[in-house]
Structure 1
Amino acid sequence: MPTITEPVTPAAPSADPILAQKTASYESWRPPVIGVSLLVPVGPDSLVVADLLGTIIVPTGSVHDGQKPAEAAQDVLRGASDSLPLLRCVAVSCVQLRRRKVITHMLATESMTREDVGRLSYRDPRADVRVLPTTRVVDSLTAGGRQRVLVALQALATGETPYIEGGVVRRSIPADLVQE
């Protein structure tokens, strides 16, 4: 039976740029996707959601290059007087997908009335803006969405801004992700 008697040395890096791209970490060749989600409370026990063809989602949008999450949040829901009454960032979530990282900033607004919510429209015209009880919203979300909303609600109550990375909740956001 043959045995290995010499240490195996790793192969030299390939000069092939395609192979280098496939083996490189995402930071080397694909920038992260950055998004913003809105936590809009209505009274003590309800949240604003978007009903997109029967699927309940937290209002979400993209953060474009050079744009701050608070600026991007104003484009997610339209129809409020001048702008949404944003309070602060209540959580940041980071998920590493196969070839790209997705960073989501959860921003909370001041509590709104049902009348104010009635004037709002979602960025996707196929969706309706609805007010649902918080428990129903949490039950209808995916596991990742449920975790983000529950952490954001807790952060809104405590005044902290936690960081979620790969499903693990941490107390503080890394300095490179803080965007005022």
Structure 2
Amino acid sequence: MNTSTALTPLTGTNPARQRRAAPYENWRPPIIGVSLLVPIGADSLVVADLLGGIMIPTGSVHDSQTPEQAALNVLQGPEDGLPLLRRVALAWVQMRRRKVITHVLATAPMTRGEAERLAYHDPRAAVRVLPTMRIVDELPEPGRLRFLVGLQSLATGETAHIEGDVVRPCSPPDLFDFPRTSQPRARK
């Protein structure tokens, strides 16, 4: 038996064996989330402590919800709801099959007493107030950029746009152009 034919790969002979090359962009609807910056005084912020790891309080934005409505479900506590101030950053990254979009919203400054009454939507996590510099040191890399750019935007009054790991002057016009696949069906 000739071993040279057994070891040569089949290339171009069978179209079924050829890999299909298609762009990965937006095969599925995007994942949309919301993160909250809750300042406590001038040098501290609210974080969620989940099993020893800290993170910015975050939740998901469901169909037919605005980011502001979704933010009210991330932290519960005040009877009249969170004092949402404005959007400070909009981050997006193209993953293999879908876009991940994160709205970073900031609240009006709260007191430590008000922060102690907050509860995170995940019961495993505890709400803590930490100094800003400690949060910068302990946040994982993907969240750290959104956190720092969000703080800068909060100070300057502008909305920042982050694509991947790059801060952009504005968001692309087609960022929210995607088909909604989970449309409710009408019953007859």
TM-score by length of 2: 0.80
Describe the SS at the equivalent of 1:80. Answer: coil
| Matching residue's letter, 2:48 | A
Equivalent of 1:164 in 162, 172, 175: 162
Equivalent of 1:51 in 36, 49, 52: 49
Cα displacement (A) at 1:143 = 1.4
1:82 is matched with which residue? 80
Describe the SS at the equivalent of 1:64. Answer: coil
List per-residue Cα deviations over 1:34-69 (Å, max 9, x = no partner).
Answer: 000000000000010000010101000000011100
| Equivalent residues in 2 for 1:58-77, closer than 5 Å | 58-77=56-75
Equivalent of 2:112 in 111, 114, 134: 114
**Is there any run of 5+ residues in structure 1 with no aligned partner, and where?**
1-10
Distance 1:176 1:157 in 2: 28
Cα displacement (A) at 1:99 = 2.0
Describe the SS at the equivalent of 2:158. Answer: coil
* Conserved? CA contact 2:25–2:94, under 8 Å: no
List per-residue Cα deviations over 1:14-45 (Å, max 9, x = no partner).
Answer: 99xxx77x734332x30110000000000000
How many aligned residue pairs are there? 161
| Matching residue's letter, 2:135 | V
| Matching residue's letter, 1:112 | M
Cα displacement (A) at 1:97 = 1.8
Aligned-residue CA RMSD (Å): 1.9
Cα gap change, 1:48 to 1:100, in 2 (>3 Å): same
| Matching residue's letter, 1:172 | C
| Matching residue's letter, 1:26 | E
Distance 2:51 2:118 in 1: 17
**Is there any run of 5+ residues in structure 2 with no aligned partner, and where?**
1-11, 177-188
Aligned-residue identity in percent: 63
- Please identify the structure whose Cα radius of gyration is greater: 2
* Structure with the bigger percentage of helix: 1
TM-score by length of 1: 0.83
1:26 is matched with which residue? 25
